């Protein structure tokens, strides 16, 4: 179990024993991890931290999420402001952390590729903010960035195509289809992304 802090809980499903591991990383990152907990004054509002994790195999765990704070001193001035916690990889053999993508608020593991994307709410501007979509892998391939700075809510790989749900300013959001070889947007729609089941997705999360 991964939470917004420098400790990971490992549960043995056979015995239900729990072991706690302190993550090791550069000092500046540890100082930031120590402040991931929400201050008591903010805890009364819709503020807090959210984390998700995915097992990539080979002793590697991917972790991502958001940190939400409330700004403003009066009820009329209050705004919810979200920030991505970034995508990080945890080596469970040494319990060390490697930051991968500081702009990512969400991620997905599909067909041997790690997709980093996400959208967070900009309270002062009253809009979604994003950082596009970045694909890592397979293997030692260099990262591939797509969709500029768009807010991407979800992304699905299917062969040489990426289907992405994006924030287009509408109430339900829109969707785009991107060609991986060219990086071009082949089509866009103001309708939500349908539920897709790729023909050969392999292990995913």
Per-domain residue ranges for the chain?
1-97, 103-199
User: Taking 90 as the threshold, does the pLDDT of residue 26 lie above it?
Assistant: no
pLDDT at 110: 92
> Which one of 12-16, 18-22, 84-88, 124-128 scores highest in mean pLDDT?
84-88
Q: Mean pLDDT score of the chain, rounded to an integer?
A: 82
Starting from the edge strand earliest in sequence, which strands make up the sheet with 106-110, in order?
106-110, 113-117, 133-136, 144-146
Q: Are 15 and 64 in contact (CB under 8 A)?
A: no
The angle subtended at Cα 147 by Cα 141 and Cα 151, nearest 5°, is: 120
204 band by pLDDT with thresholds 50, 70 and 90: low
Contact predicate 158/197, CB 8 Å: no
Residue 38 has pLDDT above 60, yes or no: no
For residues 102 and 44, the model is more confident at 102
- Supply 93's token pair: 């053999």
What's the confidence (pLDDT) of residue 35? 39
What burial letters (b/e) apply to 27-45, b meaning 16+ CB within 10 Å?
eebeeebeebebeeeeeee
User: What is 22-82 written as a DSSP string?
Assistant: E-B--HHHHHHHHT-SPPHHHHTTT-EEEEEEEEEETTEEEEEEEEEEEE-SSTTT-EEEE
Is the model's pLDDT at 113 over the cut of 90? yes
The better pLDDT of the pair 140, 100 is held by 100
Whole-prediction pTM: 0.75
pLDDT of residue 190: 87
Mean pLDDT over 99-110 rounds to: 94
Residue 200 pLDDT = 57
């Amino acid at each position: 179990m991964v939470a917004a802090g420098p400790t990971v809980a490992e549960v043995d499903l056979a015995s239900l024993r729990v072991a706690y591991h302190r993550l090791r990383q550069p000092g500046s990152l540890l100082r930031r991890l120590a402040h991931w907990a929400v201050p008591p004054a903010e805890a009364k509002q819709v503020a807090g931290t959210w984390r998700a994790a995915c097992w990539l195999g080979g002793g590697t765990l991917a972790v991502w999420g958001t940190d939400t704070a409330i700004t403003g001193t009066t009820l009329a001035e209050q705004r919810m402001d979200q920030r991505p916690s970034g995508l990080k990889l945890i080596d469970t053999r040494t319990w060390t952390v490697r930051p991968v993508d500081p702009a990512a608020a969400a991620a997905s593991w599909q067909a041997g590729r790690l997709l980093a994307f996400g959208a967070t709410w900009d309270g002062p501007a009253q809009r979604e903010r994003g950082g596009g979509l970045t694909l890592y892998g397979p293997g030692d391939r260099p990262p591939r960035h797509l969709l500029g700075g768009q807010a991407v809510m979800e992304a699905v790989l299917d062969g040489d195509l990426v289907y992405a749900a994006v924030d287009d300013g509408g109430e339900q959001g829109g969707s785009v289809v991107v060609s991986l070889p060219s990086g071009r947007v082949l089509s866009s729609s103001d309708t939500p992304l349908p539920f897709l089941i790729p023909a050969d997705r392999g292990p995913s999360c």
